[in-house]
């Protein structure tokens, strides 16, 4: 059965999880955690979304993201790509860092945001890494409780559900999270509703989400258009583009195609890799080499801009 499309509309709130490939570590030390948080901040500045909570565990991560106009898929694709590239360079590794696509459940924030943020903050406790969420440095819990400042973290919407502000909200939230550690949550945030596993909310909320998604979200760029632009530019067929081997002409075309996919967010590199018979790490590496070359070589940069201009027409 085909996977249902991602849902998007401005203001949608998602619970996002991503695991290391084969359960491998995604964060070894403070340098890794700090780099990931920096990339999250840069993503917020670029795309205009909000992060309501995060927890970075040794081999996985959990995020609560509220999107604006840019889709979650583009946000996560950029974040995953940039962190994987940095991580592999820093640790002298190669290949996939994360296990396939991220998982995202669109949640009704009015009913679930407070409980969801609590569960994200309790994830180090639930997984046996730490017995006190306040002692775990790599979640947003300490920022919520005033122990540190994370200027790009959005806490207001969560605190509104406590009906308090300022220090009283921080104190009440701290108590609320600690109370949650003593009991198992009754809500499975990793699964949506029975009628639609992508969405966690009642039937009225689900109907509203589906209506908003159809009315508000239309992919701005068709991936078929981008593929055809690259094929025309290099005067090759898609069969030649996907053929095995290391033909330099076709390799360059694939690299530009992957770059355009990444920048437009028209589809994932995973989907492109499946279409062309290449793995994501190869495409990611090709894009990175091309981007570095474009910084020094005007012809490379000009070729990219010409194709991007055709995409935007």
Average model confidence (pLDDT) across the chain: 90
pTM of the model: 0.69
- Judge contact between 225 and 270, C-beta under 8 A: no
Conformation bin of residue 265: beta by default, left when phi > 0, alpha when psi is -120 to 50: left
200: phi then psi, degrees, rounded to nearest 5: -110, 110
- Judge contact between 18 and 103, C-beta under 8 A: yes
- Give pLDDT, residue 291: 86
- Give pLDDT, residue 261: 87
- Judge contact between 80 and 128, C-beta under 8 A: no
Neighbours of 311 (CB within 10 A): 17
Measure the CA–CA gap between 111 and 209, rounded to whole angstroms: 14
- Give pLDDT, residue 262: 80
Is a pLDDT exceeding 80 seen at residue 5? no
- Give pLDDT, residue 202: 87
Is a pLDDT exceeding 60 seen at residue 216? no
Alpha helices in 182-268 (DSSP H): 203-216, 223-234, 238-242, 248-264
Which domains can be identified in the chain, with CATH numbers? 13-216 (3.30.70.1290), 223-312 (1.10.1750.10)
* CA-based radius of gyration for the chain: 21
Is a pLDDT exceeding 50 seen at residue 44? yes
């Amino acid at each position: 059965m085909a996977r249902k499309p991602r849902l998007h509309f401005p203001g949608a709130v998602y619970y996002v999880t991503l695991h290391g490939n084969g359960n491998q570590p995604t964060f070894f030390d403070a340098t890794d955690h700090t780099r990931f948080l920096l990339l999250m901040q840069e993503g917020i500045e670029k795309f205009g979304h909000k992060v309501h909570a995060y927890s970075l565990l040794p081999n996985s991560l959990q995020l609560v993201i509220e999107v604006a106009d840019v889709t979650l898929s583009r946000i996560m694709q950029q974040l995953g790509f940039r962190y994987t590239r940095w991580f592999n360079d820093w640790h002298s590794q190669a290949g996939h860092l994360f296990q396939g696509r991220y998982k995202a459940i669109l949640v009704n924030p009015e009913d679930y945001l407070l409980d969801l943020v609590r569960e994200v903050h309790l994830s180090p406790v639930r997984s046996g890494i730490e017995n006190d969420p306040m002692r775990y440095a790599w979640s947003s819990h300490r920022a919520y409780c005033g122990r540190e400042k994370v200027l790009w973290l959005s806490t207001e919407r969560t605190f509104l559900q406590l009906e308090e502000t300022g220090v009283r909200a921080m104190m009440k939230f701290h108590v609320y999270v600690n109370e949650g550690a003593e009991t198992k949550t009754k809500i499975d945030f990793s699964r949506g509703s029975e009628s639609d596993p992508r969405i966690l909310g009642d039937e009225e909320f689900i109907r509203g989400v589906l209506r908003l998604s159809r009315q508000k979200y239309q992919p701005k760029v068709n991936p078929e258009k981008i593929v055809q632009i690259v094929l025309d530019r290099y005067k090759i067929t898609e069969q030649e583009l996907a053929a095995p081997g290391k033909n330099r002409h076709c390799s360059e075309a694939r690299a530009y195609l992957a770059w355009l996919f990444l920048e437009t967010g028209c589809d994932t590199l995973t989907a492109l890799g499946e279409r062309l018979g290449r793995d994501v790490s190869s495409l990611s590496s090709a894009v990175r080499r091309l981007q570095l070359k474009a910084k020094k070589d005007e012809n490379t940069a000009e070729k990219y801009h010409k194709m991007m201009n055709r995409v935007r027409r």
